[in-house]
Structure 1
Amino acid sequence: MTVRQKKLIYIAVGVAISVVLLWALFRNIDFVRLRQALRGANYWWLLPNVLLVLVTMYQRAYRWRFMLLPIKKVPMSKLMAATCIGFMANNVLPLRLGEFVRAYSLADQDKDISKSASLATIFVERMVFDLVALLLIFGGVLMVTSLHIDPKVRTGIYVAISIALLGIVFMYTLALRPQRAAKLIVRYLFFVPVRIRERVQEIVLKFSRGLEFVTDIKTFLWVSVQTMLIWIIMGLSNYFVFLAFGFDLPVSASFMLLVIVSIAILIPSSPGFIGVYHYAAAATLQAYSISSEKAVSFALVLHAAQNRHHPHPPPHLLRACAATDGPFSGSKS
């Protein structure tokens, strides 16, 4: 099976998941009530929501700058451009390929940053810092609410905890012992040609450069604080959409929504997380006794508000990510 065929299968699976979830979401919906809920919303409340989301975009770029400091002090303009492009690419590419576009975009703008190192910072950002922050928020919400958590959701949380722990172990192993880690990885590739093993070792070492920031305790703590701040602001931004629909819900519900949706969109889906995002958001609100029609209308509006204000990624970046060998082919890995 070729790489292209595998990609097509992954995309097909993602689209199928989105279709199934959309069917499950809308199958029992009264569309008259859904339309009434959409018409009855006060959309002025979306302004502070969008403003706070844009603030977190800047914060993400600012945090990224500190993660890249051991390599180079990158201008904020380049980081903001790459961050916005990556988020927008997630709306037009499946399987979260926007994260690759983001890494490729920065390396494309600044030749001193390798694609492997750029991707490493994003990997750690997403699979360690962001995931741990969400789990801490989830724990905090459970302490102040008596909401019943579905067993499937609990299972998902346990999986997320496992991923975060593995990510932390991987991060520190590669950051503190890059040469040893690279040799260990190559050792298990004894069945591939020497040329490929040498290439893999080279990429792993470049990848480890993007993890060097974790060895500086001050930078590590600063990145951790920024991460918590980003997610707290994101949680608060959801509350303004509650107000738009007149929901009488506690602030903790906004953070529960944030956690459930953020973990749900890790599931492969069609571009823009269509289906998984809406299903997770609606299911969370229904757990707070919000009617199905209002919950779905909320999910539609929140998704649209948070995914329609990013600039379109340049065509050459999308073509690079869609290429058979991916955006990280080429000489400067």
Structure 2
Amino acid sequence: MKPHKKRILFIAGILISFICSWLFVRKIEWTSLGMAFREARYIYIFPTIIILFVNYYLRAIRWEVLLSPVKKISIVNLFSVVVIGFMANNLLPARLGEVIRPAMIARKEKIKISTLFATIVMERIFDVLGIIVIASLLFYFLPSETDSQSIIHQLKKWSVIMAFFGICAITSMFLLSLYPEKAGAVFEKMLFVFPHNLRDTLVNLLHSFVSGLQIFDHKTKLIWVGILSLIIWFFNAASVYVLCYSFSIGLSFAGACFVIVCLALAVALPQAPGFIGVFHIATQKSLNVFDVSISSAQSFAILLWAISVIPVTIAGLLFLWREGMSLREISHYDEENIPE
């Protein structure tokens, strides 16, 4: 990513996080918030953390399945890199964790990074499709009170938009994998204005990218990736559901799924590292739909954010130390010429 683009995204993210933080903090009743934390049952923190780390392990399994047609890689190694990626997203700007993950595997396993980026793109597509499925199912379980209708309407609208782009993306990836030579020929014609050497380089990158889509040749594995994606999102919802018991919030599992869908939409925005502000206001507003008091919703949002960010950040730093690398080193991965 070019420095000026990274700077623009960083500034935009800071502004969005600042606005969301202000919207969240301005309604805090500090006495009620303190009472909510004093009365909380923190025993539920431990199972919530376990659920979150099982979720990261499931993501490693899914990545291993996507990579298996290219090369067999240990799930344990992928798990450590997944955790490092989430740590990087919490500490570094511009979602660098999504660049760091394939860059680390490219260096360790001698795989072309463009091939690895294809698997990351597939992950994101399946994440979107998983959210669409969950959001669609929620329409049968969400409350029908007047106060919640506008939010539900917005959720339906965004689900339709996500479904459109998700279907277009998965169709494009499938056609690329099905007709790689034709795609390369069309792509090369589109680049006729570029110098010959640059055109050849870009076409080679496309072919390397397509090689990361070999999962389409394995229908059973593709179905397994889809199932894993749904399980991953249900585990995310389970972490919300379990943690609700800390504040005696009577939220159904469908309600927990609703919170996760709202969070998934919110964190897609540019924002400061660690999702500060955006995470909090999205959690609070989604809980308000179920008539959860502001103090309970805010205290829950703060605790959920801390549990979602702090443990994986510590674990990611430990894994990075085990790899003999520093945060400064991986923060420049997007600026380095990683072998293609």
1:143 and 2:140 correspond: yes
Q: Tell me which residue corresponds to 1:263.
A: 265
Deviations along 1:152-202, whole A, 9 cap, x unmatched? Answer: 444433332222122112211221122222332333233322222211111
Whole-angstrom CA distance in 1 between matches of 2:53 and 2:336: 28
Q: Tell me which residue corresponds to 1:186.
A: 188
Q: Tell me which residue corresponds to 2:16.
A: 17
Given that 1:100 and 1:321 are in contact with CA atoms closer than 8 Å, whether structure 2 keeps it comes out as: no
AA of the residue aligned to 1:285: L
Once the two structures are overlaid, the 10-residue window that deviates more, 60-69 or 156-165, is: 156-165
Given that 1:82 and 1:105 are in contact with CA atoms closer than 8 Å, whether structure 2 keeps it comes out as: yes
AA of the residue aligned to 1:274: I
> % of aligned pairs identical?
28
Whole-angstrom CA distance in 1 between matches of 2:336 and 2:70: 19
1:301 and 2:303 correspond: yes
Once the two structures are overlaid, the 10-residue window that deviates more, 26-35 or 40-49, is: 26-35
Q: Tell me which residue corresponds to 1:120.
A: 118
AA of the residue aligned to 2:302: L
Q: Offset at 1:294?
A: 1.7
Q: Tell me which residue corresponds to 1:106.
A: 105
Given that 1:235 and 1:258 are in contact with CA atoms closer than 8 Å, whether structure 2 keeps it comes out as: yes
Whole-angstrom CA distance in 1 between matches of 2:330 and 2:43: 39
* Secondary structure in 2 matching 1:164: helix
Match of 2:197 among 170, 192, 195: 195
Q: Tell me which residue corresponds to 2:337.
A: 329
Answer 1 or 2: which has greater helix percent.
2
Deviations along 1:19-77, whole A, 9 cap, x unmatched? Answer: 11111111222122222222221111011111111111111111111111111111122
Q: Offset at 1:94?
A: 2.0
Match of 1:219 among 214, 217, 221: 221
Given that 1:90 and 1:98 are in contact with CA atoms closer than 8 Å, whether structure 2 keeps it comes out as: yes
* Secondary structure in 2 matching 1:258: helix
AA of the residue aligned to 1:200: L
Whole-angstrom CA distance in 1 between matches of 2:54 and 2:160: 30
Whole-angstrom CA distance in 1 between matches of 2:244 and 2:175: 43
Q: Offset at 1:258?
A: 0.9
Given that 2:62 and 2:225 are in contact with CA atoms closer than 8 Å, whether structure 1 keeps it comes out as: yes
* Secondary structure in 2 matching 1:249: coil
Given that 1:278 and 1:299 are in contact with CA atoms closer than 8 Å, whether structure 2 keeps it comes out as: yes
* Secondary structure in 2 matching 1:91: helix
Structure 1 residues not aligned, in runs of 5+: none
* Secondary structure in 1 matching 2:311: coil
**What is the TM-score of this pair, normalised by structure 2?**
0.90
Q: Tell me which residue corresponds to 2:287.
A: 285
Q: Tell me which residue corresponds to 2:242.
A: 240
* Secondary structure in 1 matching 2:310: coil
1:65-76 mapped onto 2 (5 Å cutoff): 65-76=64-75
Given that 1:101 and 1:318 are in contact with CA atoms closer than 8 Å, whether structure 2 keeps it comes out as: no
Whole-angstrom CA distance in 2 between matches of 1:149 and 1:258: 18
Whole-angstrom CA distance in 1 between matches of 2:138 and 2:171: 27
* Secondary structure in 1 matching 2:291: coil
Whole-angstrom CA distance in 2 between matches of 1:82 and 1:263: 24
Once the two structures are overlaid, the 10-residue window that deviates more, 147-156 or 62-71, is: 147-156
Whole-angstrom CA distance in 1 between matches of 2:28 and 2:326: 41
Q: Offset at 1:139?
A: 1.2
Whole-angstrom CA distance in 1 between matches of 2:34 and 2:193: 59
Given that 2:136 and 2:159 are in contact with CA atoms closer than 8 Å, whether structure 1 keeps it comes out as: no
Q: Tell me which residue corresponds to 1:131.
A: 128
Whole-angstrom CA distance in 2 between matches of 1:156 and 1:260: 10
Whole-angstrom CA distance in 1 between matches of 2:50 and 2:143: 31
Aligned CA-pair RMSD: 1.9
* Secondary structure in 2 matching 1:307: helix
Whole-angstrom CA distance in 2 between matches of 1:316 and 1:166: 39
AA of the residue aligned to 2:12: V
Residues 299 and 84 of structure 1, relative CA distance in 2, 3 Å threshold: same
* Secondary structure in 1 matching 2:73: coil
Given that 1:49 and 1:241 are in contact with CA atoms closer than 8 Å, whether structure 2 keeps it comes out as: yes
Whole-angstrom CA distance in 1 between matches of 2:159 and 2:240: 21
Query: How many residues are paired up?
Result: 327
Given that 1:104 and 1:327 are in contact with CA atoms closer than 8 Å, whether structure 2 keeps it comes out as: no
